[in-house]
Amino acid sequence: MTAPKTCSVRLLDKTYEIKCPEHEIHNLQQAAQKLQEQLLANKRKFKQLDDFQNLLLASLHVSHELISYQKLQEQQRHQVTQFISSLENKINQVVSGNSEAEPQAVDSSA
């Protein structure tokens, strides 16, 4: 097991040293960058927010995005599962000799 590495991230003009597994450093830096971008957007849009309110709003925004993407991914996974199931049913019908599932010949002379 490898020892955690220290990663520097900068949020709201402060640098934080965070320990994490070496293979997660890039992900942590990306997460910090995403949060920093949202913090800056909030600062431009809502000038009256203090740092705590800004952090709270940014974390809610990023969490909402995550949940939205997770729901979309689950919908897509469900659609793919249904499609695969439909294909399996059609293949099984053809293999078992069900004439309804056999492809129809197309007359190309017309």
Distance of CA 34 to the CA centre of its chain: 13
The mean of the pLDDT values for the chain is: 90
In a domain, 104, yes or no: no
In a domain, 46, yes or no: yes
Alpha helix positions (H), 9-98: 25-45, 51-95
Q: What whole-number distance in Å separates Cα of residue 54 and Cα of residue 75?
A: 32
Predicted confidence at residue 7, as pLDDT, reads 93
In a domain, 51, yes or no: yes
In a domain, 107, yes or no: no
Predicted confidence at residue 103, as pLDDT, reads 54
- The range of the structural domain enclosing residue 71 comes to 5-95
In a domain, 102, yes or no: no
In a domain, 108, yes or no: no
Number of domains in the chain: 1
In a domain, 30, yes or no: yes
Q: pTM of the prediction?
A: 0.69
Q: What whole-number distance in Å separates Cα of residue 24 and Cα of residue 97?
A: 52
Q: What whole-number distance in Å separates Cα of residue 38 and Cα of residue 45?
A: 10
Q: Are 30 and 20 in contact (CB under 8 A)?
A: no
In a domain, 35, yes or no: yes
> b/e per residue, 41-70, with b = 16+ CB within 10 A?
ebeeeeeebeeeebbebbeebbeeeeeeee
Single-letter amino acid, residue 55: L
List pLDDT tens digits, range 52-69.
999 999 999 999 999 999
List pLDDT tens digits, range 10-19.
999 999 999 9
3 confidence band (pLDDT: 50, 70, 90)? confident
- Which residues fall within 8 angstroms of residue 3, CB to CB, at 6 or more apart? none
CATH value at residue 57: 3.30.160.880
Check pLDDT > 80 for residue 102. no
